[in-house]
Structure 1
Amino acid sequence: MMDGLRGPMEETKDKSGKSQVVERTCLILRELGRHGPRGARLLDLTEGTGLSRPTVHRILATLTAEQFVERTNGRRYRLSSIMYELGLNAPSPVGDPARLRPIVQALADRCGDTVYLAMRTGDFSHYLLRCEGAYPIRTHVVSANQTLHLVSGHSGRSRLASMPEDEAEDVILRATQDRKLFGEATPDSLRDEVERVRENGYGWARDVTFVGVAGLTVPVPNARGSAYLAMSISSIPQRMTQERAMDILPELKATAAEIAVMISGD
C-alpha cells in the first residue's frame, strides 16, 4: 500500500508504539462503562472521548458486530453481557480484602465506632469488611460478606452519588419495585440525600436506613471512573451527631484515600 492511502481501520502507531485503534477503542469502552446499563448516545461518546463522530461510529460498528457492545431500542449504545462474562474471569480490583483490614481497623480504633468497607456489585453493595471500635453500644445492622441493595445503606448511597445522575436514577427506579429496600427513607428523600453527597463529597444521615442508627460515608476515590468502593462509620444517633461527624470526617476521608492509593498501586 502506498503512503497516504491507508484504509480507515488500518492500524497506525504513535512514537511510543501504541496502537491508535486500540487506544481509541479503550476510550470508547471506558466511556460506555461510565454511562451504565442505560447506555450512551453517539453524541455522548464523541464529547466524552474527544474523538470525531466518524471514528466513534466506525469503532462502535465493529464492537457491535463482535457483540462487545449492543444498541438499545432508544438508539443508545451500551456494554453487552459478554463484557460481564469476561469480567468473571478478571481478578477483583480489591484483591484479598484481608490486607486492607489493618487500615480499616485503625480507623475503628481511633473513632471507637463500627467501620465498614463495601464494594459495588451491580445494583448491590457487598460488605467486604466490618471493624469494631471500643465504644460499648454498637450498631450491628450489617455483617461482613453481607450484600444489600445500594439504596439500603449509607455506603451504597455514597456510590450512587458517584455515578452519573441518569445511572443512579435508573438504580433507584429499579429499587422502587420493593419499597422495603429504602428502610425508613422514601425514594424522594433518598434522591435528596444522594444529591447532598454529590454536593458535599460525604453523606451523613440518621434514622433513614434503620431507626436508631446514624452513619457517615465517603466514596473511595477512583482515578479511572466512578467509585466502586465506599467507607462508612456507623453508630447510634446520640453519639454520631452532625457535629461529631464533621470532627471525624477528615480521618474517614484520609483512610479512604489511603485505601485508594494501596489498591491503585497493585
Structure 2
Amino acid sequence: MGGFLEMASRNTNENVRQPDDLAEATEDPGSRTLRRGLQILDAVMARPEGLRVVDLCRATGLERAPVYRLLATLKEGGHVAQRGRFLYVPGPRWGALQPAARQPNMAVQLQPVLERVSRACGDAAFAIVREGAASHCIARQVGTHPVQVLVIQVGTRQPLGVGAAGLALLAALPDAQVDEVIAANAAQLPRYGGMTPERLRILVRATRERGWSVIGNHATRNVLAVGMAVRNARGEAVAGISVASTLERMPRQRQELIARNCRAALAAMPPGEL
C-alpha cells in the first residue's frame, strides 16, 4: 500500500506544472524567445573566458537546437562572438561599455598630446577610442599648416581599422579580438576605399612589425595618416592617436618623424594619467 501511495504521489507531482513552467506556457512566443536569449547572454557575460554549447544548455536548461538558433542571432548583432570552433564569448558590441565611460576624461587627458603633436608637425591630430567594432573620435586638434586635412570630427564613428588611429588600436588588441572586430565589420569595409578583411589583416601585421600605423586612400581619398596606440599604466591599449595630411606631404621620412613626435608626446604624459 505504501509503495502504491508513493508511486501515485510521484506520478501526480510529475503531472503538475511548476510556476516557472506555467509562466513560460502563458507568455507569448516573442517574450519567451527574448527571455531565453537574455538567459544565454547572461551566461556568456558571466564567463568571459568562453562557454561551450553544452555549458550553455546546462546553464539555461535549454536544448541544443534553440541554443544554436539564439546564438546565431546574438552573433549577428555583435552581442556574442565565437572563439575557435567551440567557445562563445562576449561580442564586440560589449567593448563599447567600458570605453564609453572613460571618454570625457580620456578626451581631456589626450588633448595636450594632440596639441603637442600638431604643433610639431603643423597638421591636424586626432584621438579615438574603441566602441565595440567601431572607432569613435573623441578629440581633434587643428594644426598651423595652410592646408588642413580634417578627415573626421569629434563624434565620428567608423569601422575600427579604416583610419590610422583605429588601425593602431586594432593592431594592439589580442588576436581573438582583432578577428572579432574584422568579422563584425566585414560587410562595411568595402565602402572605405575597397578595404577587405584580408587587406586589413595585412595592415594589422605591418603595424605590429613597425610599431605604428600607416594607412592611405581608405577612409578618405588622397589622404595618408600615421597612427599610434595609447596604452594605460597596465600596458593595455585604450585609445589611438593619429596625424593626417595629403599624400604629397607624407613621404616615408616624414611618416617616421610624425611617429617619433607621437611617441614623445605620449611619453610626456604624467604617469598614471590614463
Normalising by the smaller structure, the TM-score range is 0.5 to 0.7
Q: Does 1:145 align with 2:146?
A: no
Determine which of 151, 163, 182 is the counterpart of 2:173.
163
CA contact (8 A) 1:151 1:181 kept: no
Aligned twin of 1:132: 142
Aligned twin of 2:204: 194
Q: Does 1:114 align with 2:124?
A: yes
Cα deviation for residue 99 of structure 1 reads 4.8
Tell me the TM-score normalized by structure 2.
Answer: 0.62
What amino acid is aligned across from residue 218 of structure 1 in structure 2?
Answer: M
Distance 1:115 1:136 in 2: 15
Determine which of 171, 176, 182 is the counterpart of 2:186.
176
Q: Does 1:208 align with 2:202?
A: no
Alignment deviations for residues 89-133 of structure 1 (CA, whole Å, 9 cap, x no partner): x94266162354233112211110010011111111111111011
Alignment deviations for residues 195-242 of structure 1 (CA, whole Å, 9 cap, x no partner): 111122101232233221000011012343541201101000101111
Tell me the TM-score normalized by structure 1.
Answer: 0.64
CA contact (8 A) 2:230 2:266 kept: yes
Distance 2:228 2:216 in 1: 15
- Check 1:214–1:96 CA distance in 2 against 1; reply closer, same or farther (3 A cut): closer
**Gaps in structure 1 of 5+ consecutive residues:** 1-35, 43-59
Distance 2:232 2:163 in 1: 20
Which is higher, the Rg of structure 1 or of structure 2?
2
Mapping for residues 1-150 of structure 1, pairs under 5 Å: 40=49, 75-76=86-87, 78-79=89-90, 91-92=101-102, 95=105, 97-150=107-160
Cα deviation for residue 147 of structure 1 reads 1.5
Distance 1:243 1:124 in 2: 30
Aligned twin of 2:232: 222
What amino acid is aligned across from residue 134 of structure 1 in structure 2?
Answer: T
Q: Does 1:236 align with 2:246?
A: yes
Aligned twin of 1:255: 265
